[in-house]
Amino acid sequence: MVTQGNKDEPGTEEFFPVELDLTVIIQPLLDQGHNLKEIAVALRKTAYLAEMMAKIHGDFQ
């Protein structure tokens, strides 16, 4: 599982206790023949878009 921030991690300003089980996303993509580099690029793009949407809606400080 990956946490969305860790209050003890250097550089982290906020702590979000929600955990995401990314294997639910990654494993099916691996099963379809995608490699980890492709998945990593897609996750980075998705994170960027989610951050921009949150900024537009005022959810991200």
- For 15-61, the DSSP string reads -EEEEE-THHHHHHHHHTT--HHHHHHHHHHHHHHHHHHHHHTT---
Residue 6 has what pLDDT?
52
Alpha-carbon gap, residue 10 to 39, rounded angstroms: 26
Question: pLDDT tens, position by position, for the chain (61 residues)?
Answer: 444 555 555 545 455 556 678 888 899 999 999 999 999 999 999 999 999 998 898 876 5
Residue 44 has what pLDDT?
95
pTM: 0.57
Residue 23 has what pLDDT?
86
Going by C-alpha positions, the residue among 13, 11, 40 that lies closest to residue 25 is 40
